[in-house]
Amino acid sequence: MHGSVQGVGFRWAARAEAERLGVAGSVRNRFDGTVEAEVEGAPDAVAAMGSWMGHGPSSARVDRVDADELEVRGDSGFRIA
């Protein structure tokens, strides 16, 4: 996610949303000021998580989300990395 996404509780809010939706994966801050997430689960839940990441918590300003499909890793739970 690009925008004002670090220092606004984005990762903690993402973990809470992931748990609510039942998706697995991780979220982390990157050195360039963006936030990176990997999400896996049921297609509709992953899509809902992607939609949420398009705006994030109310304290964030998301300007852009870049998404790529990756191999499923079989993660369980959602962690802040």
Q: Give the mean pLDDT of 2-23.
A: 96
Collapse the DSSP code of 32 into the 3-class scheme (helix H, G, I; strand E, B; otherwise coil) and give the result: coil
pLDDT at 64: 94
pLDDT at 73: 87
Q: Would the pLDDT of 70 be above 90?
A: no
Does residue 29 carry a catalytic annotation?
yes
Looking at the chain, the whole-number percentage of residues with pLDDT higher than 90 is 88
Q: What is the dihedral of CA 78, 34, 5, 21, to 10 degrees?
A: -30
Q: Which domains does the chain have, with CATH numbers?
A: 2-80 (3.30.70.100)
Q: Which of 29, 30, 61, 79 is catalytic?
A: 29
Provide the pairing of β-strand 35-40 with 61-64. unpaired
Does residue 28 carry a catalytic annotation?
no
Q: Would the pLDDT of 71 be above 90?
A: no
